Amino acid sequence: MNWKGRRVIVFCLFCTYLVMSCFIPSIETTNTNYNAPYRSGTGPTIDGSIIAAEWNGSTSYEITFNFNDTANPIITVKLYLLHNGSALFIGLNMTTGDNQSDSTDAFYIYFDEEHNDQLAGNGTLPREEGLKLTRAGVFTDLSYNGSEWIDDESIENLTKGPSNGARNGLGEWEFIVVSSYNPVTRKSQNTSDFDVDLPSMVLEGAVTIGFDIEYYDADINQYDSFTTTANRSESTAVVEWDNLVFGKVPYPTPNFSAIWAYIVIGMLVPAVVIVLAMISVVKRKVE
């Protein structure tokens, strides 16, 4: 077969691939990116009241929970995200609430910290990070033990982490997730807490992890994830979770005045030393 014939066959195979790719469904998940920008400082006050000034610089998204139930067809929530290099801040404003509020209604937030579509942990060494906050204001710090999400305090020698959550009576919920990961030693300070390496001056690049938010509606005893309408299907199906992207920490603006001061001092000190040495030599010769 000559070269021209081979080219015709290769071209036909390429066209066949393009046509078939249009009909073969993709097996990849279509995760959505949710950006948590960086803002220096202490961050919002976690008191359950979302104040615009406190959440300045955050990104916001509208998310929905659909229980496929006539009593609560769709619940709409505005999601706020922000980080300061040492903690993640999450705000949830339930703009369209469920039709019947119960004290045990709750938000659950789960993190796949290594972003590997797998939940790590076992009965004695739970991993990952989860949060639960009920409408009554009861906060629980969760970890994954290999089969389910558990309260950190249910494991001996593990205590509730520094993360916290609070809510008011108007449908506003706030969370802080404090990172226990030390970017210098590259080790976690507590395996039950938020171990992800947040962007910092040590780690320049942005960081991406998997996360999922669920809402529990007590009066119909159902859970729903904002990534799907299937009830209670996402808390362990990590491959279907969305992506939480932490914004990079910008380099500080150089202090040129201080830089020039160091340069001048660095030049003057050797010059003074040389002049003094020369004066000493001249004195010796004169003597």
The yes-or-no verdict on residue 19 having pLDDT over 70 is no
The angle formed by the CA atoms of residues 134, 138 and 141, to the nearest 5 degrees, is 95
Q: What is the mean pLDDT of residues 79-105?
A: 93
Q: Which of 29-43, 138-152, 180-194, 226-240 shows the lowest mean pLDDT across its residues?
A: 180-194
The angle formed by the CA atoms of residues 221, 112 and 37, to the nearest 5 degrees, is 100
Strand stretches in 185-255, DSSP E:
187-188, 207-217, 222-225, 242-246
Would you state the pLDDT for residue 205? 78
**What residue segments make up the domains of the chain, in order of their start?**
33-246
Give the residue, 185 or 192, on which the prediction is more confident. 185
Q: CATH fold of 33-246, please?
A: Immunoglobulin-like (2.60.40)
Using a pLDDT cut of 70, give the percent of the chain over it.
69
Q: Is 227 exposed, middle or buried (0-12, 13-18, 19+ CB in 10 A)?
A: buried
- CA 275 – CA 269 distance, rounded (Å): 10
Q: Which of 114-118, 138-142, 157-161, 212-216 shows the lowest mean pLDDT across its residues?
A: 157-161
The yes-or-no verdict on residue 204 having pLDDT over 80 is no
To the question of pTM greater than 0.95 for the whole model, the response is no
- CA 111 – CA 74 distance, rounded (Å): 24
Would you state the pLDDT for residue 262? 54
The yes-or-no verdict on residue 17 having pLDDT over 50 is no
Indicate the pLDDT class of residue 206, thresholds 50, 70 and 90: confident
- How far, CA to CA in Å, does 155 sit from each of 112, 121, 143? 20, 12, 10
